[in-house]
Chains A and B, each alone.
Chain A
Amino acid sequence: MQRVMRTAAVVLVLLSLTAGACAKKQPPLAQPAPPLGGSPTASTPPPPRTTTEALPVPPEPLAIAEDGISARSLEDLNRDSPFKPAYFPLDSAELDDDGRAVVTANAAVMRKYPTWMITVEGHCDERGTPEYNLALGERRAVAVRTYLVSLGIAADRVRVVSYGKEFPFDPGHNEKAWASNRRAHFVITSK
């Protein structure tokens, strides 16, 4: 009986030793599988990938299509104006057919550039007195504004000022000069 107990103990010890050796070789079952490809559940994200490859440069934003006129400065615009002056007969502030055609064309320009504000300058030839011509120029400018408004241009886009005969466009003293000085002159004051 004693012999049987001793043998059983040896077997147990051997078994336990064997079992211990086998346990070292086996992966632990409770260990989760290592994550693959950076799962969001990973507790430690992989180091960022560095690259030497250049990214494609985005193109510059394109300017809104312009016709070239409104890009110019006020001074340049007024020096080579898209507006034409309207001319008047002697001692008259009434637009004739030619004058109305000019103002109609100018109204079209104003509709094309709806932010522009203009001043209509009334000018006279040198044959009236400077005192009277200030009133005559005023009436010419007002006549043009009235016609512009009748064509649908907002009145608050059009200011008027008379310069009488103070600033002749043609300094001559002949019919040609006088005719070119009797005018309503359009000046762009803001855009």
Chain B
Amino acid sequence: MNIRNFQFPRRQLPRRQLRGAHVWTPVVLAFLLGIGNWQLGVARGQQPLPQQPSEVAVVISGDPGTPPRYAVPDFIAASPDAAEAAKTITQVLWDDLAFEREFYLIPRDTYSTIPPARSPDQVPFAAWRELGADAVFFGTVSRMGNDIRLEVRLFNIRTQQSVFSKEYTGTAANPRLYAHTISDEIHQQQRALRGVARTKLAFSSDRNRERMVGTAENRDVKEVYIADYDGANTRRITTNRQLNIFPVWSPDARAIAYTSYRRGYPDLFIALIYEGIQQEPTKGGTQNWLGMYSPDGTRIVFTSNRDGNPELYVINRDGSNLRRITNHPAIDTTPTWSPTGTQIAFTSDRAGTPQIYVIGADGLNLRRLTTNESWADRPTWSPAPFNEIAFAGRTGPGYDIKIYDLATGATRQLTFGEGSSESPAYSPNGRHVAFMSSRAGRYQIFTIGRDGNGIKQITRDGANFTPSWSN
């Protein structure tokens, strides 16, 4: 073999993808609230650069009709103090790449006998080819004080060429973030797909087992938490020892609107989680709950009884310009915006049972969607390009997650009667749905593909409710 063939062909790659030119460093922000997460909005805002020679050239394909087969051998630790980070990054990268089901991830124990490459020019392509792999990673992790430096390449085993080469440096506090970033960039480059590995889930939980003070009964409190999309890195957001429920991410993923009883009745609050600032858009005095950000983040639709009955209202994020949307003596609640922000789907029992309706954001053009459900509740509008609404439909003693196709009016079902499954929330790429289910005992957060495959339990501590998926 000609060793030069295995060398990284720098000249063939677009200039801006060269090492050093495309390197970014996770921005270390001094977070309040003790949140040690990195907000990668800056880096994420960088769109993939145009591949000048040919986009096809870097895409690794599998055998016709099958997904490409990826191998993720252990990343090399340049020194013993980088070993743990290297191990974490390798495992999390495997999980992240498997999550979207765009690639077939070869089980790691099947290639434990293949000797690890010590440098990018020592990748044993013949051995990987025998295993049937189409793509193999090579990575090294080195430690520099409190930082780590990560070099990663993805090789096309057929051409023996590197199609992806990046170097990352940043804090060693959260090695998982490097894996999440690589996974998102690989999905973008190889499949033109927006991955969700750097997204987060918000939910409410009684896991701290605190009790409310000043009530005759023994009442659990619920606080708002966030976690990575895979359940790791859980952080507590609220600390007021009251009911804090229905958290919802702002579109920029820097704020969480939630319903809190800290005043003794439900009202809307906004936590700017990276600034440690709390805002009160509805400013108390009336009972307001279940806020949902408009897709552009400028407005919030919510339920309020301020006029004596649960109705929908829209308010600007800063609390100005209140508009009433619904006007009916029945219950109108659980609103969700269409991706364009021009329509609102919601639950109403105006026909006798809770059903899902759509109304214009101006309060006009009401129409009923669900007609074949005994109880249809908590709609969540999918992001584009999918044009569907997930909801909780009663299917016996409990609920299942169902999806209403707006184009055809057809309904399909994601879950099938294991416990009660409720409160669906789409991932930002629309390919997954987070929900809460009692199938494992107490309510826990799960994710599932929008095709009904790939269910995954996210939370296990305490009981956990009503997920929201960040952008």
A-side residues, CB < 8 A to B, are 75, 78-79, 91, 119, 127-132, 134-136, 138-139, 142, 159, 161-163, 166-167, 169, 187
Which residues of chain B are within 8 angstroms of A75 by Cβ–Cβ distance? 216
- A128-B377, A129-B422, A132-B377 are contacts. A139–B245 as well, Cβ < 8 Å? no
- A78-B216, A129-B423, A169-B217 are contacts. A161–B334 as well, Cβ < 8 Å? no
B-side residues, CB < 8 A to A, are 216-217, 219, 222, 243, 245-246, 259, 261, 264-266, 287, 289-290, 303, 305, 308-310, 331-334, 347, 349, 353-354, 375, 377-378, 392, 397-399, 422-423, 465-466
B243 touches A132 (CB 8 A): no
Which residues of chain B are within 8 angstroms of A91 by Cβ–Cβ distance? 349, 353-354
Which residues of chain B are within 8 angstroms of A167 by Cβ–Cβ distance? 217, 219
CA distance A131 to B346 in the complex (A): 11
CA distance A136 to B423 in the complex (A): 17
Q: Which residue of A lies closest to B259 (CB)?
A: A134
Contact of B354 among A130, A132, A159 (CB under 8 A): A132
A131 touches B333 (CB 8 A): yes
Which residues of chain A are within 8 angstroms of B332 by Cβ–Cβ distance? 135
B334 touches A130 (CB 8 A): no
The 5 closest A-B CB pairs, nearest first, are A135-B310, A135-B333, A78-B216, A135-B331, A131-B334
A129 touches B246 (CB 8 A): no
A129 touches B287 (CB 8 A): no
What distance in Å separates the Cβ of A173 from its nearest Cβ neighbour in chain B? 8
B305 touches A138 (CB 8 A): yes
Residue in B259, B308, B310, B398 whose Cβ sees the most chain A Cβ within 10 Å: B310
Give 20 A-B pairs besides A91-B353, A128-B354, A131-B377 with Cβ atoms closer than 8 angstroms. A128-B375, A130-B245, A130-B246, A130-B422, A130-B465, A131-B378, A132-B333, A132-B347, A134-B303, A134-B333, A135-B332, A139-B309, A139-B310, A142-B305, A142-B308, A161-B264, A162-B287, A163-B243, A166-B245, A167-B217
CA distance A79 to B398 in the complex (A): 32
Q: 9 A–B contact pairs at CB < 8 A?
A: A128-B375, A128-B377, A130-B465, A131-B333, A132-B331, A132-B347, A135-B303, A139-B310, A142-B309
Q: Which residue of A lies closest to B392 (CB)?
A: A129
Which residues of chain A are within 8 angstroms of B305 by Cβ–Cβ distance? 138, 142
Q: Which residue of A lies closest to B332 (CB)?
A: A135
Which residues of chain B are within 8 angstroms of A129 by Cβ–Cβ distance? 334, 377-378, 392, 399, 422-423
What distance in Å separates the Cβ of A79 from its nearest Cβ neighbour in chain B? 5
What distance in Å separates the Cβ of A94 from its nearest Cβ neighbour in chain B? 12
Which residues of chain B are within 8 angstroms of A130 by Cβ–Cβ distance? 245-246, 422-423, 465-466
What distance in Å separates the Cβ of A168 from its nearest Cβ neighbour in chain B? 10
CA distance A131 to B291 in the complex (A): 11
Contact of B310 among A127, A128, A138 (CB under 8 A): A138
CA distance A159 to B309 in the complex (A): 14
Contact of B246 among A78, A131, A142 (CB under 8 A): A131
Which residues of chain B are within 8 angstroms of A139 by Cβ–Cβ distance? 309-310, 331
A161 touches B399 (CB 8 A): no
CA distance A187 to B265 in the complex (A): 14
CA distance A127 to B264 in the complex (A): 24
Q: Which residue of B lies closest to A185 (CB)?
A: B217
CA distance A56 to B52 in the complex (A): 112
What distance in Å separates the Cβ of B242 from its nearest Cβ neighbour in chain A? 11
CA distance A79 to B305 in the complex (A): 29
Which residues of chain A are within 8 angstroms of B289 by Cβ–Cβ distance? 134
What distance in Å separates the Cβ of A153 from its nearest Cβ neighbour in chain B? 17
Which residues of chain B are within 8 angstroms of A78 by Cβ–Cβ distance? 216
Which residues of chain B are within 8 angstroms of A127 by Cβ–Cβ distance? 397-398
A166 touches B377 (CB 8 A): no
Q: Which residue of A lies closest to B399 (CB)?
A: A129
Contact of B331 among A79, A119, A136, A159 (CB under 8 A): A136
CA distance A131 to B308 in the complex (A): 18
CA distance A45 to B316 in the complex (A): 88
B310 touches A161 (CB 8 A): no
CA distance A132 to B349 in the complex (A): 10
What distance in Å separates the Cβ of B363 from its nearest Cβ neighbour in chain A? 18
B290 touches A131 (CB 8 A): yes
A132 touches B245 (CB 8 A): no
Contact of A132 among B219, B266, B334, B466 (CB under 8 A): B334
CA distance A162 to B305 in the complex (A): 11
CA distance A128 to B333 in the complex (A): 13
CA distance A132 to B303 in the complex (A): 10
B423 touches A131 (CB 8 A): yes
Which residues of chain A are within 8 angstroms of B333 by Cβ–Cβ distance? 131-132, 134-135
Which residues of chain A are within 8 angstroms of B354 by Cβ–Cβ distance? 91, 128, 132
A138 touches B219 (CB 8 A): no
Which residues of chain A are within 8 angstroms of B303 by Cβ–Cβ distance? 134-135
What distance in Å separates the Cβ of A117 from its nearest Cβ neighbour in chain B? 12
Which residues of chain A are within 8 angstroms of B245 by Cβ–Cβ distance? 130, 166
Which residues of chain A are within 8 angstroms of B347 by Cβ–Cβ distance? 131-132
A138 touches B287 (CB 8 A): yes
B331 touches A161 (CB 8 A): no
CA distance A163 to B399 in the complex (A): 20
CA distance A142 to B217 in the complex (A): 22
CA distance A91 to B349 in the complex (A): 9
A161 touches B216 (CB 8 A): no
CA distance A55 to B405 in the complex (A): 95
What distance in Å separates the Cβ of B308 from its nearest Cβ neighbour in chain A? 7
- A79-B216, A167-B217 are contacts. A131–B466 as well, Cβ < 8 Å? yes
Which residues of chain B are within 8 angstroms of A138 by Cβ–Cβ distance? 287, 305, 310
CA distance A182 to B274 in the complex (A): 40
Residue in A91, A128, A129, A167 whose Cβ sees the most chain B Cβ within 10 Å: A129
CA distance A138 to B246 in the complex (A): 16
CA distance A162 to B216 in the complex (A): 16
CA distance A79 to B216 in the complex (A): 6
A162 touches B423 (CB 8 A): no
